[in-house]
Amino acid sequence: MDLKMKINAVVADAFNVYPHFANTLPAQRAALMHAIAMALQANETELIHAAAKETHLPPARLKTELNRTILQWNQYADACAAGKWLHISKDLSGPAPILKMNRALGPVVVFGASNFPFAYSTPGGDTATALAAGCPVIVKAHPAHPETSLLCAKLLQTVIEKEGFSPPIFQHVPDEGFETGALLVQHPLTAAVAFTGSFSGGKALYDLAQARPAPIPVFAEMGSVNPVVILPEAQKDAEALSGTLVQSLTASAGQFCTNPGVWFLLQTTHTNHLLAALKKALNKSQSEPMLHEEIAKSFSTKRKEVLASGMVDLLASAEAPGNDLFSIPTISTTSAKKFIANRMLREEIFGPYAVAVLCNNMQELAEALEAMDGQLTGTIQARSADEILVPEILEILERKCGRLVFNGVPTGVTVTEAMHHGGPFPATTDSRFTAVGADAICRFVRPVCYQGWPGHLLPQTLQSFIGT
C-alpha cells in the first residue's frame, strides 16, 4: 500500500469514530485519561530506557519529564470532567431557549517535539488535550525517537481498547519523511494540527494548512529566544544572578523552547562585574550530549557563524568537547546597535548559547526590544530601585511575549490553568491559544449554539451540564 493510501485510511478511520467519540461524556474521557496516566506510570522503566537510548537525555531528566507527562494526563482529565472548557452559555429569557457549548473539531494530527519525547510528543499535552476535547488523534512519530514513540503509542492503544473506546481514537503513523506529515495535514477530513518544533517545520505545515481548499487551525509552537532584561540594581546581585541564568541556559544542554538566549543589560558601573560573574559561572558548566547529531551539528555551525560574524565578542565558552554530539555552552556580548542591525543576532541558536546585549540607555534598550520578533516568554530582573523602569519595558514585552517572568528565569513551565505557553508569531502560529495548562483543550473545539431545542434532544454532554 502506498503512503497516500495508508494516510487516507488512517484519517478516514479517525473521522469515522469522531462523531461517537465527540459524544462520549467528558467524565468518560477523563476516566480513559486517568487510566493512560496510570499505564505510563506502570511502564516507567521501559519508557525511560527507550527514550534515553534515542535522545541521549539522562534518565533523571527523563523521569522528571515522564512525571510531568503523567501529571498532565491527570490534570487535563480533571479539567475535561469539570467541563469549564465547554464554555456553556444559556439564555432562557426569550421565546426559544438559546444554549451554547464547545464541540470537538474533528481528527487532530499531532507532531511531537524532539526535545520532549514524552511531555510534548506521542503521549504529550497535545494528544491529551485533543482527546479531552473529544477529537480523535493521529500522531506522526518523530524521526528522532521512533521507538519511544511506538512504545508509547502501543501503551495508549492497549489502554484505549481495555477501557472500551474505539481503537481509531488514537492512531500512530511512522515517519516516512516530510510527505507523511504533508499528507496528514492536507487530508480534507483532518480538522486541526498541533506541532512542536522548529520554525521551518511549523511554518511549512502552517502554509500547507492555509493553502487547503478549506483552511484548518494549526497550533505550531516554534522558536523563541526568550529575552531577559537585567536592570541596573539587579545587576548588583552578580553572583546569584549569574548562577541562576547560566543554570537556566545550560539545563538539558540548552534544549528547552524557553531557553534564555538574549540578555539585555542596561549598562551601569556594575555591568562589568556581572559579565565577569557570568563568565565565571559559564566556565564551570559542562559540555553535554545533545538530542542527536543533527541538532548538535546545527548548534555548532550556528555558534561558529555568529562568533565569526564580527557582530559579537566571545565572553565565555565551555571547553570544546572531543565529540560531535556534545554542546559547547557559550555566552557572547554585543551592542544594542549591532543587535538591532543584524537579524542573525536575534535568531534562535537551539542549544546553550546566549548573547548579552549591552544597552547604553533606556532608549537603546527599548529599541532593541522593539527589534525582537514574537516570543514565548520575556523576563525582567529588577530590584526596588529599578521599578521605575519596569512599566516602559513591560509595555513592550506584553506586545511581544506570551508569558512575562519577574525575577525568575523562563525555563520551567508550570502545568496550571493560569499558564500561557504560547506567544505572537513566529513563537507560535496562533498566539491566542496555549499549549500547556487545561486551556490547551480549547484549541480543539468550536462553539455550537442550540436554539429552541427540547432538552431531551440536546447532546448528552449538554444535558449533563445544563443544570450546572
Q: Which residues are catalytic?
A: 221, 257
| Closer residue to its own copies in complex, CB, 342/453 | 453
Hey, which residues between 405 and 424 contact its own copies (CB under 8 A)? 405-408, 414, 416-420, 422, 424
Q: Which residue from 71, 96, 320, 362 is in contact with its own copies, where contact means CB under 8 A?
A: 96
Nearest approach in angstroms of CB 170 to its own copies is 20
Hey, which residues between 19 and 58 contact its own copies (CB under 8 A)? 19, 23
- Residue ranges in 163-237 assigned as alpha helix (H): 178-186, 199-211, 232-235
142, three cell numbers: 518523530
| Closer residue to its own copies in complex, CB, 59/452 | 452
Q: Which residue from 196, 258, 333, 434 is in contact with its own copies, where contact means CB under 8 A?
A: 434
Q: What contacts 278, CB < 8 A, 6 or more positions away?
A: 242, 245, 246, 315, 316, 331, 356
Binding residues for its own copies, total number by CB under 8 A: 65
CA gap 191, 170 in Å, rounded = 15
187 binds its own copies (CB under 8 A): no
Question: HSE (CB half, 13 Å, CA atoms) of 333?
Answer: 16
Hey, which residues between 312 and 341 contact its own copies (CB under 8 A)? none
161 binds its own copies (CB under 8 A): no
- Residue ranges in 83-198 assigned as alpha helix (H): 125-133, 146-162, 178-186
Q: Which residue from 29, 56, 68, 103 is in contact with its own copies, where contact means CB under 8 A?
A: 103
340, three cell numbers: 538591532
Nearest approach in angstroms of CB 293 to its own copies is 32
453 binds its own copies (CB under 8 A): yes
With contacts defined by CB under 8 A, name the span among 124-132, 250-258, 308-316, 443-451 that binds its own copies: 443-451
Q: Which residue from 90, 162, 284, 343 is in contact with its own copies, where contact means CB under 8 A?
A: 90
The candidate with the shortest Cα–Cα distance to 120, out of 88, 96, 152, is 152
CA gap 423, 433 in Å, rounded = 8
The candidate with the shortest Cα–Cα distance to 128, out of 172, 53, 67, 73, is 73
CA gap 347, 337 in Å, rounded = 16
Q: Which residue from 270, 404, 464, 466 is in contact with its own copies, where contact means CB under 8 A?
A: 404
420, 402 in Cβ contact below 8 A? Answer: yes
231, three cell numbers: 536592570
- Residue ranges in 83-135 assigned as alpha helix (H): 125-133
| Closer residue to its own copies in complex, CB, 117/227 | 227
452 binds its own copies (CB under 8 A): yes
Q: Which residue from 4, 304, 343, 446 is in contact with its own copies, where contact means CB under 8 A?
A: 446
CA gap 185, 150 in Å, rounded = 20
Rounded to 10 degrees, the C-alpha dihedral 306/310/316/318 comes to 40
Beta strand pairing call for 89-91 and 98-104: antiparallel
| Closer residue to its own copies in complex, CB, 90/304 | 90
CA gap 114, 65 in Å, rounded = 13
Nearest approach in angstroms of CB 440 to its own copies is 11
Nearest approach in angstroms of CB 129 to its own copies is 15
Q: Which residue from 12, 59, 399, 463 is in contact with its own copies, where contact means CB under 8 A?
A: 399
CA gap 427, 400 in Å, rounded = 9
| Closer residue to its own copies in complex, CB, 18/111 | 18
94 binds its own copies (CB under 8 A): yes
Nearest approach in angstroms of CB 266 to its own copies is 17
Q: Which residue from 76, 206, 219, 299 is in contact with its own copies, where contact means CB under 8 A?
A: 206
210 binds its own copies (CB under 8 A): yes
174 binds its own copies (CB under 8 A): no
Q: Which residue from 99, 113, 251, 328 is in contact with its own copies, where contact means CB under 8 A?
A: 99
CA gap 26, 38 in Å, rounded = 18
With b for 16 or more beta-carbon neighbours within 10 A and e for fewer, the 202-225 pattern comes to bbbbbebbeeeeeebbbbbbbbbb
Beta strand pairing call for 401-406 and 375-381: parallel
The candidate with the shortest Cα–Cα distance to 77, out of 39, 35, 18, 116, is 35
468, 86 in Cβ contact below 8 A? Answer: no
114 binds its own copies (CB under 8 A): no
Hey, which residues between 338 and 397 contact its own copies (CB under 8 A)? 373-374, 387, 390-391, 394-395
64 binds its own copies (CB under 8 A): no
91 binds its own copies (CB under 8 A): yes
- Residues at the site binding its own copies, with contacts judged by CB under 8 A: 19, 23, 87, 89-91, 93-94, 96, 98-100, 103, 106, 206-207, 210, 214-215, 217, 373-374, 387, 390-391, 394-395, 398-399, 401-408, 414, 416-420, 422, 424-426, 429-432, 434, 439, 445-454, 457, 459
